Amino acid sequence: MLTKDAGVAGEARHHLELLLRQYPGDRAAVQLLAQLEHVDQAPPGGPQR
């Protein structure tokens, strides 16, 4: 499942980067990229209790 999630996140990042090339400074795209970066730094398996 982690591999699938990583692939989806990578694909989303790729599309957001393409969007930002066409529309530099698009706030929604910048915020989504920041959230993806945050997801990349989270420990595998989601939040730990």
Task: Write the CA distances from 3 to 6, 8, 19, 21, 46, integer angstroms.
Answer: 5, 9, 24, 27, 13
Condensed to tens digits (0 to 9), the pLDDT of residues 1-17 reads 566 777 887 888 899 98
pLDDT the model gives residue 13: 87
pLDDT the model gives residue 37: 79
pLDDT the model gives residue 45: 63
Neighbours of 32 (CB within 10 A): 17
Confidence grade of residue 22 (pLDDT, cut at 50, 70, 90): very high
Condensed to tens digits (0 to 9), the pLDDT of residues 23-37 reads 998 999 899 888 887
Domain boundaries, the chain: 2-41
